[in-house]
Amino acid sequence: MPGTAPSFHSSPTRPTRRLLRRAAVALAAGAVLLGGGAVPASAAVPADAAGSAAPAGYHPERDFAGSTVAAHEGRSTSSTLSPLASQTPGTDVSSWQGNVAWSTAYANGARFAYVKATEGTGYTNPYFAQQYNGSYNAGLIRGAYHFALPDRSSGATQANFLVGNGGGWSADGKTLPPALDIEYNPYGATCYGLSQSAMVGWIHDFANTVLSRTGRYPVIYTTTDWWSTCTGNNGGFGSTDPLWIAHYASSVGALPAGWGYQTIWQYASSGTLPGDQNLFNGALDRVQALAHG
């Protein structure tokens, strides 16, 4: 704007105060512009469970299933891996994708989708309704997932937060069980400062709480390397929790102990579908079977 900026040594004029108030309101309710894109303020500045300001360095809008994997394990696959006849393509998305064109995703082959709902105990995806309901309305079988921060609160606390914010389940044949995204810590120590036995206990706490709230055990998203490092390659979940494995290569590779096969394989972080590229280990009727329980 033309004119002279107000002095910081004197009180702003009434018009200036009005502009400052409007700017503050816009930042609180609208979007923070970064590099020409818009990140909703609700994603950029989340509150914790008590409603206070987010901890410094907290960036849940940048955390999604696989956001830490390539940096630790690399990637060596084409994003155009062709599914076998016995595999069903799908995707997972977060606030990173914003509003998703689900009819286009369906036309390009997607038949299921996992949508990030929550992180820790204070962040909810501001695009969750559009992504979760939009995928359903376009004909995809959808589910919600939680990005775990095991050093912030108990597994039960975070499971309840997920279920209370979109991570439920219903036997409608179109809703997958909620999923736990447990991967490398984006904020520090790989295993979140927990011992292997404490991590196993945390995951059991989360899984059992989801079961008690929804009637379904959660799908577990992880990598074989992280699982081996942080749980001691614990084999105690394979009989209850479907495995969603992340491995960016031309084959799924070795699986964590306890699982004889993966239910979902996230094989690339980009490709034809929005978000990450996934293959369900079965034809569409197997996806429907998991949804039905």
Strand intervals (E) in the chain? 31-34, 37-40, 88-93, 112-119, 123-124, 141-147, 179-181, 219-222, 243-246, 264-268, 276-280
Active site residues: 92, 181, 183
pLDDT of residue 56: 63
d(CA 134, CA 120): 24
The whole-number pLDDT of residue 49 equals 35
| Polymer length in residues for the chain | 293
Query: Who has greater pLDDT, 90 or 122?
Result: 90
Query: Can you tell me the distance from the alpha carbon of 170 to that of 178, in angstroms, rounded to the nearest whole number?
Result: 11
User: Is the pLDDT confidence value at 267 over 90?
Assistant: yes
User: Residue 88 burial by CB count (10 A; 0-12/13-18/19+): exposed, middle or buried?
Assistant: buried
CA 1, distance to chain mean position in Å, is 41
Strands 264-268 and 141-147: unpaired
* Longest alpha-carbon distance in the chain: 72
Lowest-confidence range among 37-51, 149-163, 213-227, 247-261? 37-51
Dihedral class, residue 286 (left if φ above 0, else alpha if ψ from -120 to 50, else beta): alpha
Confidence at residue 216, expressed as pLDDT on a 0 to 100 scale:
98
Contact between residue 266 and residue 221 where contact means Cβ atoms under 8 Å apart: yes
Pair type for strands 123-124 and 112-119: antiparallel
| pLDDT value at residue 20 | 38
Ordered structural domains, the chain, with CATH? 14-45 (no CATH), 62-292 (3.20.20.80)
Q: Are 286 and 95 in contact (CB under 8 A)?
A: no
pLDDT at 19 > cutoff 80: no
Whole-number percent of the chain with pLDDT over 90: 66
pLDDT at 184: 87
All residues at 6 or more sequence positions from 106 whose CB lies less than 8 Å from its CB, including other chains: 138, 139, 140
In the prediction, which pLDDT does 80 show? Answer: 56
pLDDT at 86: 86
Angstrom CA distances, 234 to 31, 171, 197, 257, 283, stand at 43, 30, 9, 6, 29
pLDDT digits (tens, 9 = 90+) for 54-111: 556 767 666 666 656 655 666 554 455 566 668 999 999 999 899 999 999 999 999 9
Rounded to whole angstroms, the Cα distance separating 220 from 146 reads 10
Checking if the pLDDT of 283 tops 60, the result is yes
Give residue 45's pLDDT: 32
* DSSP per residue, 5-23: PPPTTSPPPHHHHHHHHHH
Paired strand residues for 276: 92
Given pLDDT bands bounded at 50, 70 and 90, which one contains residue 18? very low
* Mean pLDDT score, 190-202: 97
pLDDT above 70 coverage of the chain, percent = 72
Q: What is the pLDDT of residues 29-50, one digit of tens each?
A: 333 222 222 223 333 333 333 3
Report pLDDT for 57: 72
Average pLDDT of the chain to the nearest whole number? 81
Q: Token pair 């209370």 is at which residue?
A: 164
Determine the pLDDT at residue 26. 34
Q: Is the dihedral of CA 54, 72, 110, 280 positive or negative?
A: negative
Q: What SS3 class is residue 224?
A: helix
The pLDDT value given to residue 59: 74
Residue 80 C-alpha from the chain's centroid: 22
Residue 208 DSSP symbol: H
Q: Which residue has the higher pLDDT, 202 or 45?
A: 202
